[in-house]
Structure 1
Amino acid sequence: MEIAGWIIVVILFIVGMGGAIFPILPGALAIYAAFFVYGFFISFSPFGVWFWIIQTLIVAVLFLADYAVNAWGVKKFGGSRASIIGSTIGIMIGPFVIPAFGLILGPLLGAIIGELFVGSKLDDALKAGFGAVVGLFTSTVVKFVLQAAMIILFFIWI
């Protein structure tokens, strides 16, 4: 039974780390779920209250950072609220509409469309789109680092 638990934990860790790159995957929630799987199959005893507080705070920071870093990228390059909303929508639907390149083109086109929607010039819209891509890559790095920290803390704790 312990081996089955470890297999599921490892699969959830892999899916979680994949979520740092592909927003369709659950990311931090898969990693968080792995802790419960470990507890049910093996033991909850290694996890004290501080483990759960720290891990929950990391998950909260991940959710906030995902949006905030994307918004920062768009704002840094002169984008408006409309381009932030457009890039966020693009992140969610891009991979489905344009499977191979949707992850990058989604936020880029979403920010450009959002900026053009509020009457900005094409040059300004293109800058906002570039900012959305910068925000996406920065957000990916932040998610990858924080999710890796969650896994490392798990192994330190057990």
Structure 2
Amino acid sequence: MDVLLLVLSFMCVILGVFGSFLPVLPGPTISWVGLALLYFTNAVPANYWILGITFLVTVIVSVLDYVIPATGTKKFGGSSYGIWGTNIGLVVGIIAPVPFGFIIGPFLGALIGELIYDFKDHNRALKAAAGSFVGFLASSFMKFVICVMYFGLFIWIVWSHKSELF
């Protein structure tokens, strides 16, 4: 049973790292579930401090994941159309067979959304799209860093308890 939990937790942590860039997967949450599964093994004693602190970080990052792109769009003069365009462009960018679509999609989505909101003001639309893009990159980078830290924590825990696990 320990080996199954170890494999599942490893898969969750790795999937969380990929999920830090993909909008359909909540990367930090999946990585945290991987850490929690690791503590369900008999070989690794429960450390509620690590689980509690990482859970709190996961909640904060999950909230900021929605706040940062919206703040970036608003800070650069965008509207709710730009925010919606960012999210739709992100999904379309992932599905579309375009290289780096997950980066290009949010920018184009925000630009199209802002142009729908006010077609006459192209400069404002471009500025808001840039803000949305910067917010998306900042949010993705923050999630990636957290997921990589959780992966490092996973490796450290497994390494320090390898004699009991294997």
TM-score category by the smaller chain? 0.7 to 0.9
CA contact (8 A) 1:5 1:42 kept: no
Is the partner of 1:21 in helix, strand or coil?
Answer: coil
Partner of 1:83 in structure 2?
A: 82
* In 1: Cα distance, 2:93 partner to 2:137 partner: 15
CA RMSD of aligned residues (A): 2.6
Which digits, 9 at most, give the CA deviation of each residue in 1:77-127, with x for residues without a partner?
Answer: 221222122212222333113553321222112211221122151221112
* In 2: Cα distance, 1:146 partner to 1:36 partner: 15
Superposition TM-score, scaled by structure 2 size: 0.78
Deviation (angstroms), 1:139:
1.0
Superposition TM-score, scaled by structure 1 size: 0.81
Structure 1 unaligned residues grouped into runs of 5+ = none
* In 1: Cα distance, 2:152 partner to 2:144 partner: 12
Which digits, 9 at most, give the CA deviation of each residue in 1:42-88, with x for residues without a partner?
Answer: 4563222x333312211111211111111122223221222122212
Partner of 1:7 in structure 2?
A: 7
How many residues in Structure 1 have an aligned counterpart in Structure 2?
157
1:101 has 2:118 as partner: no
Paired-residue identity, %: 34
* In 1: Cα distance, 2:97 partner to 2:60 partner: 29
Partner of 2:164 in structure 1?
A: none
Equivalent AA in structure 1 for residue 75 of structure 2: K
* In 2: Cα distance, 1:153 partner to 1:65 partner: 22
* In 2: Cα distance, 1:32 partner to 1:99 partner: 31
1:70–1:5 Cα change, 3 Å: same
* In 1: Cα distance, 2:97 partner to 2:108 partner: 11
Equivalent AA in structure 2 for residue 39 of structure 1: Y
1:72–1:12 Cα change, 3 Å: same
